Amino acid sequence: MNLDFVKTPFTNNPSMVRYEGTPYNKNPNQYHKKQKKKELQHNKEKLIGESELSMDIELRKLVTTYIQAEKSLSLEELTLE
């Protein structure tokens, strides 16, 4: 049981811990992946707004290197990866 949220004396300061895991989940929950596909089928134009910046090849290379993806991915491909 996590009782970290009860603190006295009371403060409004955030209680944060640096995330040490991988930046990208290589084994996502298949249920969530199916839900993403379904949402994209119905609302793709509202959910995937690729700008000139997001389509910049050099930026994509940096992102895919950072998340350790096999190839350069579009925002849609990255969402479903």
The pLDDT tens digits of the residues spanning 1-60 come to: 555 666 667 777 777 888 888 887 778 889 988 998 898 888 877 777 777 777 777 888
Q: What is the structure's pLDDT at 35?
A: 92
* pTM metric for this prediction: 0.49
For residue 16, give the H/E element and its range. Answer: none
For residue 48, give the H/E element and its range. Answer: none
| Signed CA dihedral, 61, 80, 31, 44: sign only | positive
Q: What is the structure's pLDDT at 8?
A: 66
Return the HEC string of 14-30: CCCCCCCCCCCCCCCCH
Query: Apex CA 59: angle with CA 42 and CA 48, to 5°?
Result: 10
Among 60, 55, 79, 68, which residue's Cα sits nearest to residue 23? Answer: 68
Q: What is the structure's pLDDT at 31?
A: 93
Q: What is the structure's pLDDT at 65?
A: 84
Q: What is the structure's pLDDT at 61?
A: 82
